[in-house]
Amino acid sequence: MTDWNVAWYRPEEHEEWDRVVAASGTGTFLHRRSFLAYHGDRFVDRSLVARDDNGHIQGVFPAAQSPVDANVVVSHPGATFGGLLATPDVTGGPYLAMMECALRSWARAGYKTLKYKPVPAIYHTIPREDDRYALWILDARVSQRALSACIDLEHRLPATARRNRSLGKARRANCSIEQGSAILPELWPVIEAALKERHNVRPVHTLEEMQYLALSFEPEIQCLGASLLGEFVGAVILFLSPQAAHVQYSLTSTAGMAVGAMDLLVEQAIEIARARRVRFFDFGISTDPSGTALNDGLHRFKTEFGAGAVVYEQYDIELGLYAADSLQKSGADLINIMRG
């Protein structure tokens, strides 16, 4: 097959959409329609579905218009990463053709650029990098790289002596861990204050949004708080996928930092990930949003838990070529390129 019936996503297709996400090998709960819909009022949705000749959805492409540039479509501004998710039998040439059909749809809608954030391989449940190959064939340009720290839980490197000392300090201080969405109202001020003090920013989510997500996606979202003398002094919000656990928030107050509360939180979060039988523990990026400025101290702190490094990428594709009815690169041409 060299062509697909690609159309805008419709709400009544949410069950078929989620079926493809679950089967794709790269999808996570971040790509389910219920997650994407929670912040629907922030974005103009431009998600696509690809149907085969029998009318069955075989590919989904979460996307929305950029909130800062109406000429740009992003996959997806409300998720850490996204991209084209397809059923496992859609690979090689048919996947390339599906990607091209999606680009054609956005181009004909007037968009000039696609910003594409592929799902890192540590989140794949099967080897699935069709999109990276397609991006190369389609002349995509790497526009951003960000550095994350990640533990392979099957082959964890030893934690450093400094981390072990800090963990011992937290235990001697009788720092304890509480868990569950019910602690969020007390935990959120700690997160807000720490982000304000250290980075002069606010959390990506409001308390109300995080409460909604934690209740809607339990057990995929886990909330952990470090308590000292009856007060929360640190927090970790963990997003769990089948293959990887992602640290969405990890912050301590000054008092929490003094007693090593983060070390206790991280070790507890790792135990939760192990209990879910995930392979990787992803601390998240240690760069600014553009990826060009690395917080080396933060990155080294994360690696001291026994982590290596993982890169998150973003690609830009100029859509002008795909606006015409007659394209220079048809699906058949792409298959021939792959074979040649």
pTM over 0.85: yes
Specify the pairing of strand 113-116 against strand 72-75.
Answer: parallel
The CA-atom distances, in angstroms, between 37 and each of 65, 204, 206, 209 are 14, 16, 16, 12
Residues 232, 202, 117, 313, CA torsion sign: negative
DSSP states along 133-171: HHHHHTT-EEEEEEEEEEEETTSPPPPPHHHHHHHHHHH
**pLDDT given for residue 8 in this prediction:** 98
**How far is residue 205's CA from residue 194's CA, in Å, rounded to a whole number?**
15
Domains 5-146+314-339 and 155-278 share a fold: yes
Chain centroid to Cα 32, Å, comes to 12
pLDDT of residue 204: 86
Distance CA 305, CA 239 (A): 19
Map tokens 């192990």 to a residue.
274
What's the confidence (pLDDT) of residue 42?
84
Angle separating helix axes 331-339 and 92-108, nearest 10 degrees: 140
198 Cβ contact partners less than 8 Å away, ≥ 6 residues apart: none
Classify 106 as helix, strand or coil. helix
Q: Cα–Cα distance between 140 and 41 in angstroms, integer? A: 29
| pLDDT of the residue at 2 | 54
Chain-centroid distance of CA 66 in Å reads: 17
pLDDT of amino acid 35: 93
d(CA 235, CA 50): 40
The residues spanned by each domain of the chain are 5-146+314-339, 155-278
Q: What is the pLDDT of residue 325?
A: 53
- 293: which 2 tokens? 């400025």
Tokens of 328: 């220079």
Quick check: 282 and 148 in contact, CB under 8 A?
yes
Query: Class of the 155-278 domain?
Result: alpha beta
Amino acid at 222: Q
Among residues 62, 65, 33, which one has the least CA distance to residue 49?
62
Q: What is the pLDDT along the chain (340 residues), one digit of tens a residue?
A: 457 999 999 999 999 999 999 999 999 999 999 999 887 678 999 999 999 999 999 999 999 999 999 999 999 998 889 999 999 999 999 999 999 999 999 999 999 999 999 999 999 999 999 999 999 999 999 999 999 999 999 999 999 999 999 999 999 999 999 999 999 999 999 999 999 998 888 998 999 999 999 999 999 999 999 999 999 999 999 999 999 999 999 999 999 999 999 999 999 999 999 999 999 999 999 998 788 899 999 999 999 999 999 999 999 999 998 987 544 444 434 433 332 3
What distance in Å separates the CA atoms of residue 82 and residue 102, rounded to the nearest whole number? 14
Half-sphere exposure of 188 (CA within 13 A, CB side): 15
What are the angstrom distances between the C-alpha of 340 and each of 98, 178, 334, 337? 20, 57, 10, 5
What kind of fold does domain 5-146+314-339 have according to CATH? Aminopeptidase (3.40.630)
